[in-house]
Amino acid sequence: MSSIVHFEIPADDIQRARAFYSNLFGWRIEGVQGMDYMMIDVYGAPGGGMMKRMHPSQQIIEYIGVPSVDEYAAKVERLGGKIIVPKKSVPGMGYFVICLDTENNAFGIWEMDQKAK
């Protein structure tokens, strides 16, 4: 069964958002070297990320782990959903696709693959 494996919080002011979530939930939020991205440690386990908002309507995205983003992206479309960000790699970590469901809710699918380039 697939489950949520990661979430991303877009922010207009990353330091302000970092302070807010750190103080609210006690999360440890640290920058990722070489990237304009911060990882969120949720109670001792990686849980999410934070980055600069890319467009005004960008909202929090949850990523669901799947065995193959290619297979699941095709399934999203067969079921009436849409692909809004095609397959992208995160080197050394895996691949993701951002989708819209039939109700226009955005979500991501994530495939772990340490060989991703």
Beta-carbon neighbour count of residue 32 at 10 Å?
11
Domain check: are 77 and 114 in the same one? yes
Max Cα–Cα distance, the chain, nearest Å? 42
Residue 89's Cβ-count burial label (10 Å; 0-12, 13-18, 19+) is: middle
**Total domains in the fold of the chain:** 2
For residue range 17-64, list pLDDT tens digits in order. 999 999 999 999 999 998 889 999 988 777 899 999 999 999 999 999
DSSP string spanning 5-17?
EEEEEEESSHHHH
- Residue 37's CATH number: 3.10.180.10
- Is position 2 within any domain? no
Give CA–CA dist 48/45, Å, rounded: 9
Nearest to 73 by CA among 113, 107, 28: 107
Domain check: are 45 and 91 in the same one? no
- Domain of residue 76: give its range: 66-117
Beta bridge partners of 100: 82, 106
- Is position 60 within any domain? no
For residue range 93-115, list pLDDT tens digits in order. 999 999 999 999 999 999 999 99
Domain check: are 72 and 117 in the same one? yes
Domain check: are 41 and 81 in the same one? no
- Is position 59 within any domain? no
Confidence band (pLDDT; 50, 70, 90) for 65? very high
- Is position 97 within any domain? yes
Domain check: are 31 and 70 in the same one? no
